[in-house]
Chain A
Amino acid sequence: AQSVTQLDSQVPVFEEAPVELRCNYSSSVSVYLFWYVQYPNQGLQLLLKYLSGSTLVKGINGFEAEFNKSQTSFHLRKPSVHISDTAEYFCAVSRNTGFQKLVFGTGTRLLVSP
């Protein structure tokens, strides 16, 4: 079985500052990794995903994440955040075979203030 840990429940940051949201996973098999964003009162939207290949993945809205197999991590980063980035961010994992079953972390609330 897979599991995901997002240690930070909330990350406050000032506008235009860089941010990193941490995600660690556990799995006995090879996995795919995802970051989703949930804006208030909305559904989830995919930011980026790692399937294979380059460990640095670029996504929408200027976000990127780096897959680190040895540390079983998939941290999300943005060099300069905007007020509009305020949202809940979910890291998710699925095994890379069979039908996809996403296992989510508990989410990190990113709070961007002026």
Chain B
Amino acid sequence: DTAVSQTPKYLVTQMGNDKSIKCEQNLGHDTMYWYKQDSKKFLKIMFSYNNKELIINETVPNRFSPKSPDKAHLNLHINSLELGDSAVYFCASSQVTSGSQADTQYFGPGTRLTVL
């Protein structure tokens, strides 16, 4: 009954490869996010989708391409992996409500990507 799940949990790959990380939420939320946590634990948002539409796109290299096939899924595909892509990637979801209420973001367990 995991709320936000990510696969795989660990991903070790060579430079130049292409890889994908999958995220699924069963909370019925309409908004999903990808965050990157670097080796110093700094967390930064990368993308956000609301109802399958891209609404936040930070200054992320275009080697990173998010894809949202439906509201419950937000996958992250990374082309031509580089050493600097090594990090923990977190998926999150929330329900955007009308008015000024900010709903809680629920985070997945993270995917630790190591690029060799």
Q: Interface residues of B toward A: which range?
A: 20 to 34
Q: A40 → chain B, closest Cβ, in Å?
A: 11
Q: Are A45 and B107 in contact (CB under 8 A)?
A: yes
Tally the A-B contacts, defined by beta carbons under 8 Å.
60
* Known contacts A104-B42, A107-B42, A99 near B50 by CB under 8 Å: yes
**A42–B44 alpha-carbon span in the complex (Å):** 17
B39 in the interface, Cβ–Cβ < 8 Å?
no
Query: B94 contacts which chain A residues (CB < 8 A)?
Result: 100
A44 in the interface, Cβ–Cβ < 8 Å?
yes
Q: A17 → chain B, closest Cβ, in Å?
A: 24
Name A43's contact: one of B44, B55, B102, B107 (CB within 8 Å). Answer: B107
Q: A51 → chain B, closest Cβ, in Å?
A: 6
A69 in the interface, Cβ–Cβ < 8 Å?
no
Q: A4 → chain B, closest Cβ, in Å?
A: 10
**A32–B56 alpha-carbon span in the complex (Å):** 18
Query: A90 contacts which chain B residues (CB < 8 A)?
Result: 43
A66 in the interface, Cβ–Cβ < 8 Å?
no
11 A-B interface contacts by CB (under 8 A): A43-B90, A44-B90, A49-B102, A51-B100, A99-B50, A100-B94, A101-B48, A104-B43, A104-B44, A106-B40, A107-B42
